[in-house]
Chains A and B, each alone.
Chain A
Amino acid sequence: MPATLSPAVTVSAPLHAATPATEAPWSGFTKGLFRFVFLYFVLQIVPLDWHYYYDLAVNWSGFSFGDIFRLAHYSPRFFDGPDTFANWAVVAALAAVGAAAWSWVGKSRPDYATLYYWLRVLVRYRLAAGLLGYGFLKLFPMQAPLPSLSLLNTHYGELSDWKIFSLSLGIVPSYQSFLGLVEILSAVLLLGRRTASIGAFLSISFLGNVFLSNLAYEGGEYVYSFYLLALALVVLWYDARRVNDLLTLERPAVPNRFRLALPAGWQRAARRTLKGGFVLLFVGLYGVKTYAAYQRGPYHYPQTPGLPNAAGLYNVREFRLAGQLRPYSATDPERWQDVVLEQWNTLSVRSARPVVLYHSTTESIHSQDPARSYEFAGSGGRHYYAYQLSPDGQTLTLRNRNPLEGTDTLTLRLTRPTARTLTLTGTDAQGRDLQVVLEKRDKKYLLEEATKTGRRGGLKL
């Protein structure tokens, strides 16, 4: 049986690939386009914004993982507020002006193969840094933490799309690590010239999903994830044609023939040093730092420890406001329905009083407790208070964590008549007398129980 599908197709097109595009002189159009693309991406990648350096200098707390993360999270911003594609438009305008000027002064070059090489280097490393920044936060599963007790006791419909997205990832640390591993693997592949396209292909699959998730779940990183996606496309573009030749068109494919000539010894040394430095900072040091942070516990929740042996869900057995006993109620806006004490110094109250919703949909790493908003961001149904215990251990000062809920402060005397009971007496935010008796409940969470026994046994709960 002859091995060709259809020799009837006699159109025997000369093989373009035999004369590699990299070696032919570039057309005027290609050169013009390249000037624009080059400037555009250089402006997108190289921080020319003094704010960037100022922020780094001022907020640098000494190679903490948060610092390195911010270092890897740059994209140029010309407008205040949330990141928008308007920033891209400004960059594009600047690049267009620059490209026009460049075309005016320099026309003689046959091509920009060397510059293209360097642009690709820049893009590869920028992309790798971005991927590593998030990759390690996932590898050591911190980006999406396990749900707090309060969040476990929040109605599904009270959570924002983005919060649900994060929590759903948070409940499976192993999967989060896997995603982190994929990100890190893509980044590492991007660091090698020959493996860059494979890394870029992997990144595109990954970042494409990240971008769409951000759009779909109302996340705040859709511009930034698209930015990384654009970088990955630039990297892949270089090899797209030959790969298409090989795989889709099934015709001979010409490999990359460009070799960077670095004649001087110091140039080669500089190249090695820079590469080594990059790996040391974003893989070595950042890896160690994020691992250490993982050991310390989730950075999304406050660090100050809460009352000892108190964490749990509490029934509000008795509730007196201004001397008046309020019975259990699903509708009374003032009566507390249940209370959660976290391992840290958060007390959250479920009540019918509506929550002013606070949103936080971008990844930010805060070192101070008051700025750590994860537990209440995008979550209704409960009011979150940070509490402080007086030195004598008898008085709790509760302050609403949510900045949108106003200065809601309660000072309450604490007693613990039994191991499972807490009483709080004092005044509420309006200065009325408040007396509350809390009783710990033996709440079993299906999320945990089903993990213990497996889903197949069947459970009664």
Chain B
Amino acid sequence: MSTTSFVAQPTPTVPVATADRSGYAPPPAKATPARRPWKPWQRVLFRVAFPFFILMSLPSDLGWYKNLASIDWLHGHYRDVYDLARFSPSFFLKGGGEGGAPALLGYGNWFIALGLALLIGLVWTLLARKREEYEVLYYWLRVIVRFRAGIGIIGFGFTKVFPTQMPYPSIGLLNSDFGDMTAQKIFWLQIGIVPWYQVFTGVVELLAGVLLFFRRTTFLGAALLLGALGDIVFVNFAYDGGVHVYSSYFVLLAAFLLVQDVPNLYNLLIRERYTVPYHYYPRFKETWLRFTRLGLKVATIGIFLVYLTYLEYLNFTFDPYKQPAQKGVAELRGLYNVAEFRLNGRVLPYSPLDSVRWQQATFEKWTSFTYKVNRAHQLDLSNGGGSPMRDINRTFETTGLAGGQRVFYYDADPQTHTLYLQSKVLTGKAGRRGQARAKLEDNAQVRYRASLASWIPADAQARIGDETHAIHPAAWSTRRERGIKTEQKPEQRDRMTLTYRTTDGGRHVVLRGLIEQKDSLYVVLSRVDRTYTLSESALSAGQYETVEQPR
């Protein structure tokens, strides 16, 4: 389906061509070059390719439109726009990768699209045999694919430009053994440890996307996209990253966009022939058409570059989506050895083999507490992604990690110095996130409140407050409000209630209370001041330092 042409090599002495600035028109037919008929196979191929790429590029998922309709543009969240940008064809199968056992490696939907396209192509060929070329349709198809790919990759890239997609490792992860992580974890951390490199990879994706918005830079953008995403596809297969389908999707779109110019390049570089590019471009005569075009383009750039930049900035600064947003108790933060450990009054000496006694503990700068113990437990091997609003569901610090590191989310009652801790990994038999949603949200809310009441006393609950407003007001969004509500449902988690006290000016922390199995615990943690070989992050997401802890 080439709409391009190369002309025979002219003799060098004759001035061969004059072209105006948009000069795809070879002389002498400067004004309206005759449309050339396509070869039959090109026409047939196009009749299949057209519906195929339309099906691939336009959202076929009802949820996408629901999201679009529900966006509160005045109180936006990066995920509102990200979800607009991040769709892939879904017909009857749920998208591959993370969710369950995918059909055909997750590419099932592609084949459905192809099947439909073949069908349409067949009918079309039967109906329209006289048509000689499809330059107009081809042009518009390229427009759709260009914008689809551009928007999509920008959505992807922005989470790296503001480095939140791969967070810098938590203290707990820094103190876990390399071999206790999944390959997927190791890869993501590798990007996470150098935020500036992550920014670079994001800029490459963003640049590719922006170049696709303009037809003259399409080839460069598509080549960049093909190279970058081709690598990411391989990375996802090699490290079992779980987004191989979505990254291949961009490779496919980019390859399609390259098709138009590859013959020209071949002619110019390999055959070393004089090459005249000829591309069909429509001309809008009517004013309203010109304004519509301009308006759509400005809207796209406005939403996916300007508005999204603002939202991603807010997300990076106040609410980095993979790591918890609320501040942890400032005086507790750090890495600790377990100096003393009493369970039900009995002292257990330190041992790396003990299945009950803790070996080390950490308090992150956010609301996470980790202890390490030599006991097998249920692991969360997802990639810690998704769009959780509640801090307890932001699990990047524990996903893909073994070695007996147990990570807890805590609510701290500042008055009684009590921590209400809940395991980040669900202990129920379906130990995964994204279980079937409670059908009746209100009902779930009632049950959630009831479960809280039996656990956290009402006065403590009042002091802890509502999570929705626990972040900077600038980052508050309608989506957060809704999301936190939906995610509040009773779940099976290990729980601990511990009071804390610091001694020796923070050198030691004493924790006492009840742990998971209702045993009484008394531990003395002693602070470890350690320097890491790994360089510290110079660019960190979230704000955990500025505000003093409320008293």
Contact = CB atoms under 8 A, between A and B. Distances in A.
Interface string A182-218: 0000000000001101100100010000001100111
Contact size range, A: 35 or more
Given A156-B173, A451-B183, A7 B20 contact: yes
A213 B197 contact: yes
A5 B31 CA distance: 10
Given A164-B193, A252-B17, A3 B281 contact: yes
A23 interface: yes
A288 interface: no
B93 interface: no
Nearest to A256: B272
A327 B347 CA distance: 15
Contacts of B216: 247-250
Contacts of A380: 533
A251 interface: yes
B179 interface: yes
Interface in A319-364: 327-331, 337-338, 357
A145 interface: no
Contacts of A171: 183, 186, 239
A159 B534 contact: yes
Contacts of A5: 22, 281-283
Given A171-B186, A446-B182, A252 B136 contact: no
B387 interface: no
A145 B476 CA distance: 47
A253 interface: yes
Contact of A156 (B181, B264, B402): B181
Contacts of A446: 179-182, 379, 400-403
B351 A328 contact: yes
Contacts of B227: 205
Contacts of B20: 4, 7, 9-13
B273 interface: yes
A212 B283 contact: no
B269 A239 contact: yes
B112 interface: no
B337 A4 contact: no
Contact of B534 (A14, A157, A195, A248): A157
B376 interface: yes
B12 interface: yes
A160 interface: yes
B268 A445 contact: no
Interface stretch (B73-81, B352-360, B490-498): B352-360
Given A251-B23, A252-B276, A161 B532 contact: no
Given A153-B179, A156-B177, A330-B338, 13 more contacts: A152-B178, A161-B194, A165-B190, A171-B239, A172-B238, A212-B200, A216-B197, A246-B275, A249-B216, A378-B533, A445-B179, A449-B402, A460-B377
Interface of B: 9, 12, 15-26, 31-33, 35, 100-101, 135-136, 169, 173-184, 186-187, 189-190, 193-194, 196-197, 200, 216-217, 219-220, 223-224, 227, 234-235, 237-240, 242, 261, 264-265, 268-277, 279-283, 337-338, 349-353, 359-360, 376-379, 381-382, 400-403, 431-432, 532-535
17 contacts: A153-B178, A156-B534, A158-B532, A250-B279, A252-B276, A252-B277, A255-B268, A315-B353, A327-B350, A329-B350, A330-B359, A446-B379, A455-B242, A455-B400, A458-B432, A460-B378, A461-B377
Interface of A: 1-7, 9-15, 18-20, 23, 147, 151-161, 163-165, 167-168, 171-172, 174-175, 178, 194-195, 197-198, 201, 205, 212-213, 216-218, 239, 242-243, 246-257, 315, 327-331, 337-338, 357, 378-380, 443-451, 454-456, 458-461
Q: Which 7 pairs between the two chains have the least Cβ-Cβ distance? A: A152-B179, A157-B174, A175-B238, A216-B197, A446-B402, A445-B179, A157-B532
